[in-house]
Structure 1
Amino acid sequence: MYHYVGKTALITGASSGIGEVFARALAKRGMNLILVARTESKLRALAQELGSQYRVNVEVLSIDLGNPGAAQSVRQTTRDAGWRVDLLVNNAGFSTLGAFETIPPELEQQCVMVNIAALLDLTHAYIPDMLEQGEGAIINMASVLSFVGGGRQATYAATKAFVFSLSQALWSDYRKRGIRVFALCPGPVATGFFEVMGADAKLNFMGLMDKPERVVKVGLKAFEKGKPYKLVGWFTKATALSTRILPRTLMSRVVHFMTVFIYKPNGKRR
């Protein structure tokens, strides 16, 4: 089990989608929150709502994790304010989309900065504190694409493979030192992420779209049991299993075909 009451969670990408659902779920469990995202107005509205509803302390940090040094700034702010972080939820992330040569390189760099560099820097920043405290926990948002290269989402899929691999290594390194590390691996989730890409209707039709509330509920249940990761949804489980049975080249072709059929490339960051 994991005891939430009175502890503090820092959640990135907390202004919407899965990050917002994490904030609601953890506040309901009695955790104080530090909400991190780019849109301050959304964060403050959510902070006021959750603080009033669940009688927990909710702090807000408006910052773009795609900027160099952003993670260090978050760490310095929490240190200066005396905020202890018991649970780090690395949820912030976004995807580029389209044929690789058509995507602006600077947008790909932003994807890497948010999905990998910021997650890595925040993890480095808070693990020493957790070791000193004698306990701590980290939840990293991975993906079904952690297991197979995503056609027309090459960089995003690569970042999620990094997140999953890192999470498993840290779980092994720290599980006997008081720190839980957990990777949550959903498939497509109805958060607006796929609506921007013009894919939500097709994914719903194919029965692949999951609800963020279910993803977080299933994820937290597995996290509480001390599991290293959780595959959410039949599509994610089937994909992960297929990579053990079928040639990776075949799986990459299948994912490429599905992506071309489902998505409308736009190359925009949400």
Structure 2
Amino acid sequence: MRRPRPIRDAECFHRPHKGKLTCPSTAPPAVSPSSQAAARAWAWPSPTPSPATERTFNNAGFATFGPFHQADPDRLRREIAVDVTAVADISRAFIGQLRSAGRGVLVNVASMAAYQPNPRMALYGATKAFVLSLTEALWEESRGTGLRVLALSPGATRTEFFDVVGTPQAAGGTRLASPADVVRTALAALDRRNPPPSVIAGRMNRVMAFLARRLASRRQVIRAIGRLTAKEA
């Protein structure tokens, strides 16, 4: 198998003034509060992608913190539009072109929240589980085409994410990673001779994900996260 061409322009991932992992050319437009309008608006804004596009990075997302039954229904619909519908729409808009070109990159940003249910961030965890599952499936479908597909799962990261959530407590008291460290993890994974379908950013996050899957029952993991977020609510 031919080793894929390394990615050098990390700035395509990282805009320091925003702390986002994104490409300026793929940044989605502003959306209205209407869930249906948001779902349409978060699709690629032009009818067809640019022929020169070789890399697509889906990073936009936000969360709602608190008990699900108390959440604003309109905000939850917007969360689904941004965290689920936009990822599917943009992936679908670009993947055919990227596959046909025989090269390129499609990165969808999932989260550590994808690996287990997240009481008091229930919808966010569910949307990120969707992103992880979708992207890993696309990785398999794209094998042999030259397209590198990756689900990137950071933990709590020092971005404006917590400003949008409305509380830094959504981090659960964990140390915030820098966007640059998350970028390096993604680039290293993409530059492997045989890139994986997904990667978790941060050594401790990888350890925690392993322990949650191998050494604890589903019930124990959910109860532990529930106790942690209950302290922060």
TM-score by length of 2: 0.82
Cα distance in 2 for partners of 1:4, 1:176 equals 19
User: Residue in 2 aligned with 1:156?
Assistant: 124
SS at match of 1:184: strand
User: Residue in 2 aligned with 1:244?
Assistant: 214
Cα distance in 2 for partners of 1:109, 1:238 equals 33
Letter matched to residue 20 of structure 2: I
User: Residue in 1 aligned with 2:18?
Assistant: 16
What is the percent sequence identity of the aligned residues? 28
Report the alpha carbon displacement of residue 161 of structure 1 after superposing the two structures with TM. 0.5
User: Residue in 1 aligned with 2:52?
Assistant: 84
Please say if 1:2 is aligned against 2:8. no
1:74 pairs, out of 45, 50, 56, with: 45
SS at match of 1:34: helix
Cα distance in 1 for partners of 2:166, 2:207 equals 24
**TM-aligned CA distance change 1:179 to 1:125, over 3 Å:** same
Q: Deviations over 1:48-99 (max 9, x none)?
A: xxxxxxxxxxxxxx433961322445242x54xx453211100000001111
**TM-aligned CA distance change 1:233 to 1:83, over 3 Å:** same
Letter matched to residue 92 of structure 2: H
User: Residue in 2 aligned with 1:34?
Assistant: 25
1:222 pairs, out of 165, 176, 189, with: 189
2:108 pairs, out of 140, 152, 157, with: 140
8 Å Cα contact 1:130-1:136 kept in structure 2: yes
Cα distance in 2 for partners of 1:63, 1:14 equals 20
Cα distance in 2 for partners of 1:166, 1:143 equals 13
**TM-aligned CA distance change 1:173 to 1:211, over 3 Å:** same
**TM-aligned CA distance change 1:114 to 1:250, over 3 Å:** same
SS at match of 1:74: coil
Please say if 1:106 is aligned against 2:88. no
Cα distance in 2 for partners of 1:249, 1:101 equals 21
Letter matched to residue 115 of structure 2: F
User: Residue in 2 aligned with 1:198?
Assistant: 167
8 Å Cα contact 2:42-2:82 kept in structure 1: no
Higher relative contact order (CA 8 A, sep 6+): 2
8 Å Cα contact 2:14-2:179 kept in structure 1: no
Structure 2 regions of 5+ residues with no counterpart? Answer: none
8 Å Cα contact 1:12-1:92 kept in structure 2: no
2:175 pairs, out of 195, 208, 215, with: 208
Please say if 1:232 is aligned against 2:201. yes
Letter matched to residue 223 of structure 2: R
Letter matched to residue 98 of structure 2: M
Report the alpha carbon displacement of residue 202 of structure 1 after superposing the two structures with TM. 7.6
Q: CA RMSD in A?
A: 2.9
**Count, aligned residues:** 221
